[in-house]
Structure 1
Amino acid sequence: MYNLLISAGAAIAVFLVVLLAAGTSYWWAALLGAMVVFMASFLIISRIITKKLEEIMEPAMKDIQAQRFEKGIRDLKAALRYGKWQIYVESQINSAIGMVYFVRREFGTAFPYLEKGFFKNWVTMGMLGVTYMKKNKHDKMKETFDKALMASPKESLLYALYGYCLNEIGENVKACEIVAKGLTKLPGDDNLKQNLELLREGKKMKMKGYGEMWLQFHLESMATIQKQQMAAMGGKRRIIRK
């Protein structure tokens, strides 16, 4: 990362200058000065990069929310030029791009971005796990979900999604273990309780309790999604009279 290298270089320069000017007996002053310069330089550069990213990311996300996807994605990709300046910047931008493509069902296009995504973004990690499942890369699926749970151990839907995917590939016992693990982290979670009972009975999990968050993973058929949307609207279509 450029920020780290520049800050370290400035700190080393200060350390050597103070050491040469004051003598080796003042090594502690040289070290203190180097630490102050490192921290100051790192924070200043971080703020500059953060500001530049905000100027790109905020309008890009507004465009995406307004369904101007092409423009939003184009701007997000432009922000990748700052990826080498700050740690995790590139992976976070890749997560955002991958999520947009995945939600639009452009799974093949989303995949390489999700692979390079931010491990603390549990939603995009979940999308990556689902993609590995569909590619029959079950070990990679488990590895992805396990990594996501380590970073986000308090997300009910993440445990349920992992359990759902495990059950889909025929690993019911492992699915029960994961959902039960979720209940140890989130005791009293009704969605996890219900789904653990269903898994133990050998039945299909019911995920509608998670609402729109669940639907974005595209594991339900379009007919099921439409049925749920109709139910949310009161079970019948509005009739517009002219």
Structure 2
Amino acid sequence: MNRNAFARLCYLLTNVGGLVDSIYVRIEENVTMFSSILAHHKKTRLVGHDYIRSGHTISTHFHQALFSILMLHHILLVKPSPVDDACTNESWKWFKECLRALDGTYISVHVPTMDKARYRTRKCTIAVNSLGVCDRDMKFIYALTGPEGSAADARVLKDALTRDDIMKIPRGFVVITYVTMDIPNVERCLTPYRSEIPDDPIEDLNDDVVSPSNDTQDDFINSFESSSEWDTWKENLAN
């Protein structure tokens, strides 16, 4: 981050995020400490040594900066635009009308010993299961973090759909889709980021994989359920 970008970030955090100077720590120092922890994975103790601050001071100002960053979501998060016929990008031109790509990731955290069981992932790490949604330029559209590491991806997605925020999936767009590849004797099930594939074989097998509720507002999906047909289809494909 150069000086110009740093000054712009401080300006946004001050005028939009509501970040203010404290008695002993100015905004610039606060943002610097926050950036050091976030970008360079520095521990609170190490940052406290570098800036000659107590651990309590570092933690307090980190959370203040984090709250201000979250207030900038309408500036930092972009609005998606679908892939059109004029797209020439080799990675995206095959997915016409695609709005966004979603995926989950584990973020390591420290929790009390009594809570570690809930945060233990299938990879035996202590983390939270986070959901991120990007457009084709890798700019974030939506982000959700907080669910315990033991939470399945489907549960995190359902949580995102039921929240009263900007995670909206239009009706007619599918979350899980099917693609066949011309490889001899091989059919691979992918989960790319695509909408409405003509003659999708899954649509006839599992109409309740994405099951819109009757009380949805406008034309958006806000819930989904799994089905035994979907599990059977995946097992047969794997075999």
More strand by share: 2
Q: Return the TM-score normalized by structure 1.
A: 0.27
Which structure has more relative contact order (CA 8 Å, sep 6+)? It is 2
Q: Return the TM-score normalized by structure 2.
A: 0.27
More helix by share: 1
